Amino acid sequence: MPILIDGHNLIGQMRNISLADPDDEAQLVMLLRRYATKKRGRKVVVVFDGGVYGHPDSLSGYGVEARFAKSPSDADSELIRRIRAVRRRDEWQVVSSDNAVAGAARAQGVPVVSAQEFARRLEALDTPKPNAAGHEKRNNRPLNDAEIAEWLHLFGAREGEDDPDM
């Protein structure tokens, strides 16, 4: 399912990215690339307010299309224009908590996810899964005497050789 995202609206809901960061757009795009990759090729289109980054084409890639509106006031217009152009409305999703953008999507029959909810999804990418952490701990234990002897034998060392403590 392709996703159309209100970029600065989403950044405003992220805990690890601030709208005051000079590279906030690039930080969001990097997270969106990880998201698109994890979701096996999901297409993501993110629209930012204009006049912020300078080289918007350099942010596109890896399943993410980053676009900057010509001026800050044009971002919502750009999003609404794109929503109205969607042909297969049930296949797309809009991420925004902006009333005008979300309202336009609902009027067109395009599902809407709030920026707060989508921010939680993105932040979950950085949260380790409980099973992975438990697996790591099980494998990070000290070797027992038999395992040490096996490794020493494997590498051709004899027990006590070059080690005054053995």
- Do 84 and 157 have their domain in common? no
Across residues 132-158, what is the average pLDDT? 70
- Do 144 and 162 have their domain in common? yes
How many domains does the chain fold into?
2
Residue 92 CB-density burial (10 A; 0-12 exposed, 13-18 middle, 19+ buried) = buried
Confidence at residue 135, expressed as pLDDT on a 0 to 100 scale: 53
Would the pLDDT of 159 be above 60? no
Domain of 166 in residue numbering reads as 129-166
Across-strand partners of 61? 64
Cα 55 from Cα 166, distance rounded (Å): 63
User: Which has the closest alpha carbon to 108: 90, 135, 134, 127?
Assistant: 90
- Do 134 and 75 have their domain in common? no
Would the pLDDT of 102 be above 80? yes
- Do 57 and 112 have their domain in common? yes
Confidence at residue 131, expressed as pLDDT on a 0 to 100 scale: 59
Confidence of residue 7 (pLDDT cuts 50, 70, 90): very high
Confidence of residue 15 (pLDDT cuts 50, 70, 90): very high
- Do 120 and 151 have their domain in common? no
- Do 120 and 78 have their domain in common? yes
Residue pair 51/71 in contact by the 8 Å Cβ criterion:
yes
User: Could you read off the pLDDT of 109-142 as tens digits, one per residue?
Assistant: 999 999 999 999 999 887 666 655 555 555 677 8
Q: What percent of the chain has pLDDT over 70?
A: 81
- Do 17 and 73 have their domain in common? yes
Confidence of residue 52 (pLDDT cuts 50, 70, 90): low
- Do 119 and 49 have their domain in common? yes
- Do 15 and 90 have their domain in common? yes
